[in-house]
């Protein structure tokens, strides 16, 4: 008998050879990023406080290992003699190496930010033309992860080859240091990175910046598809990014992932159920949260028992968790309340995100309903286990009959008529029955 996991999640990965051969991100990276909550208001104290909370709340045990320092860490100018990057001495009085060492002592990994342009998106100096010295400096600081943005790129975009060459320069420089540094491209889906970043990066953004909203349309995120989008923009609602990502599963896999941008869970712009859906579909890509991790959780009860999906209950309802799951996208979050904690530590969804098989979930169908749409996603996991998901973007509850011919469309008639054991990994509607 095979296992079937009905959950609202999907995974974009293909079971083909690894492309970016630095041995990193074999499953999608998980961690916390400063940007969406703190913006430029960061410091050594901000980052260390967040890191202590991550450790104290046992998030490392759930897989969240990277602490990412985003934009605005830089001093006003580079070193006048060497051209090397320098940290803002007021924000980071002990320097970046000391910060990195402290995070490593906590059992965490350290990430840094720059841009493949003259300036970063926050107006600090970028790395365009300084790839070698910057990569060498990051390695000397003990950096484990680079988020590499796309602002002020001097017009060096517009064709896949132009963008590839610009981002390849940093890829080569990082590899030349001899230190394993996860390379996370953030070029917003410009020039179709899913077609060329697979050989130079561990992950690549597929759209404009996310906003903390479930489905609101915003003209600053104007494209209806990313396949030939000329202005990725920003303020892209979560449901729109999921829609953008649907075709790209065939392009990703172990070591190279589509990135649907950071988790907004806990930032306050969505409901509990919408954040649950956000996490579920974040399981298809790197999982980086971006919230106020320096705030501890309230009324959190921890269990020291080993994870047994058939015995533990999920906070959304009395449904058993799955025994297997598959990888997805990078994850990052903000930690403020017990509700946030319960969402981002859903072991079933994390297991799907981190599954070793790397087999994609596919959107089988999408239909319009009043106020939104309804879609079915299906995929296979390790140990002959399968996962399917329903996503409802309308404001109304929907009653849906699932045809197993659709769920197992890629798996053939034998599975379509077979007796299965089903487990609810996660749902965000109390009317859902197992």
Q: Which residues are catalytic?
A: 149, 209
∠ at Cα 309 (305, 313), nearest 5°?
80
Q: Which residue has the tokens 């517009």?
A: 158
Strand partners, 2: 420
> CB of 380 within 8 A of CB of 359?
yes
């Amino acid at each position: 008998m095979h296992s079937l996991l009905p959950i609202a999640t999907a995974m974009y990965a293909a079971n083909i050879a690894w492309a970016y051969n630095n041995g990193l991100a074999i499953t999608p990276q998980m961690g916390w990023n400063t940007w969406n909550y703190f913006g430029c208001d960061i410091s050594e104290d901000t980052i260390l406080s967040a890191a202590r909370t991550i450790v104290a709340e046992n998030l490392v045990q759930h897989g969240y290992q990277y602490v990412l320092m985003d934009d605005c860490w830089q001093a006003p100018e580079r070193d006048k003699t060497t051209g090397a990057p320098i940290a803002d001495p007021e924000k980071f009085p002990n320097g970046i190496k000391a910060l990195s060492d402290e995070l490593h002592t906590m059992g965490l990994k350290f990430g840094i930010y720059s841009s493949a342009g003259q300036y970063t998106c926050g107006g600090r100096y970028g790395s365009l033309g300084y790839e070698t010295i910057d990569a060498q400096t990051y390695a000397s600081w003990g950096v484990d992860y680079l988020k590499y943005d796309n602002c002020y790129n001097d017009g060096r975009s517009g064709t896949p080859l132009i963008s590839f060459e610009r981002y390849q320069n940093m890829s080569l420089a990082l590899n030349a240091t001899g230190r394993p540094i996860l390379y996370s491209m953030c070029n917003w889906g410009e020039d179709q990175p899913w077609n060329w970043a697979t050989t130079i990066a561990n992950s690549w953004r597929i759209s404009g910046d996310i906003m903390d909203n479930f489905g609101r349309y915003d003209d600053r995120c104007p494209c209806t598809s990313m396949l030939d989008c000329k202005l990725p923009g920003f303020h892209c609602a979560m449901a729109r990014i999921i829609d953008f990502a649907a075709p790209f599963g065939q392009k990703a896999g172990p070591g190279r992932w589509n990135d649907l941008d950071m988790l907004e869970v806990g930032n306050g712009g969505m409901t509990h159920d919408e954040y649950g859906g956000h996490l579920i579909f974040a399981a298809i890509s790197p999982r980086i949260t971006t919230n106020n991790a320096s705030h501890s959780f309230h009324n959190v009860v921890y269990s020291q028992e080993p994870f047994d999906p058939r015995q533990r209950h999920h906070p959304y309802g009395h449904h058993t968790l799955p025994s297997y799951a598959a990888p997805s996208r990078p994850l990052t979050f903000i930690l403020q309340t017990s509700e946030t904690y319960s969402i981002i530590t859903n072991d079933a969804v994390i297991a799907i995100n981190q599954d070793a098989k790397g087999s994609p979930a596919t959107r089988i169908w999408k239909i319009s309903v009043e106020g939104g749409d309804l879609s079915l996603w299906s995929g296979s996991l390790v140990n002959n286990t399968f996962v399917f998901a329903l996503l409802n973007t309308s404001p109304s509850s929907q009653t849906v009959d699932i045809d197993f011919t659709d769920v197992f469309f890629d798996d053939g008639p034998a599975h379509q008529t077979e007796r299965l054991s089903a487990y609810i990994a996660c749902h965000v509607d109390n009317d859902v029955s197992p």
